[in-house]
Structure 1
Amino acid sequence: MSGDPLDGNALVLAAAKASVSGEQLPKLVDDAQSRLADRRDAYRRRYECVHDDDDRTVFLVEEGHWQTLGDEWGLDDQAWRALRRAHREQLGQLAGDLDRRQEFDAALELREVVVIGTEQSVPG
């Protein structure tokens, strides 16, 4: 399953919860990553970076961010909601790995998350 920098488990969970096929979501994620990679520097200037490693950079963004991106990219509600869910699931997995679940859960009460792959993890 593609979808880097989102882990396969995050994609499976997101697909199940967002009513999007397991084949459709990785393509949506890859397309989104291609677009988000071009905005990495702008995200760094504007949003809080809560994690950065060799595979991904994680930003907290304002509520409604994914809907705005979906409108801009011409996505239907189901597609942008699936992307939002996939990024949220990735943060949830990362939170457990980093023992930061409480911190990230509190942040997501007011904000959304955007995960952008590093150059080596973004599909080319």
Structure 2
Amino acid sequence: MPDPSYPIEGQIVLLAGTQASVPLDRLPDLLERVQMYLRENRATYDREYERISGPREADYVCAESGRWDSIGTELRLSDRERDAVRRAHAAQFERDGRRLDRSEEFEATLEIRDVLAVSSEP
């Protein structure tokens, strides 16, 4: 069951933290901090980027490649922290693509876009 503060499932959080070498006890706080930032900027994202509805509590924003670098800079995330957050959002997007039977489309999107999972909860 996903944490209500961010739309990333627990198993994905563990995997992303391990792959990016970020302490697992630190990653939930990072994801929450990023989620607050994404919610604050949601109106801008809705105007500027394609949005895909997810099967759960998330919508996905398909931003330009490199958007995670900009977010990381704005939030002063280390390279590893930014990589862990990016991996978590991408992995959740891929998992939801399988749930929606749209795996190929979602994987192709990740090749050319940065995907941001934004909670549909206020």
Q: TM-score, normalised by structure 1?
A: 0.89
* Root-mean-square deviation (Å): 1.6
Equivalent AA in structure 1 for residue 51 of structure 2: C
The residue aligned with 2:99 is 97
Instruction: Give 5+ residue unaligned stretches, structure 1.
Output: none
Deviation at 1:64, TM superposition (A): 0.7
Aligned partner of 1:12 among 7, 11, 14: 14
Equivalent AA in structure 1 for residue 92 of structure 2: Q
The residue aligned with 1:117 is 119
Q: Which runs of 4+ in 1 moved over 4 A?
A: none
Equivalent AA in structure 1 for residue 58 of structure 2: R
Aligned partner of 1:81 among 80, 83, 106: 83
Distance across 2 between alignment mates of 1:95 and 1:60: 14
Deviation at 1:89, TM superposition (A): 0.8
The residue aligned with 1:71 is 73
Equivalent AA in structure 2 for residue 109 of structure 1: E
SS of 1:107's equivalent?
Answer: helix
**Do 2:49 and 2:62's aligned partners in 1 also have CA atoms closer than 8 Å?**
yes
Cα deviation digits, residues 26-76 of structure 1 (max 9, x gap): 110001111111111111111111224561111111111001111111111
Equivalent AA in structure 2 for residue 17 of structure 1: Q
Equivalent AA in structure 2 for residue 60 of structure 1: C
Instruction: Give 5+ residue unaligned stretches, structure 2.
Output: none
Identity within the alignment, % = 34
SS of 1:28's equivalent?
Answer: helix
**Do 1:59 and 1:115's aligned partners in 2 also have CA atoms closer than 8 Å?**
yes
The residue aligned with 1:39 is 41
**Do 2:6 and 2:118's aligned partners in 1 also have CA atoms closer than 8 Å?**
no
How many residues align? The count is 120
Equivalent AA in structure 1 for residue 18 of structure 2: A
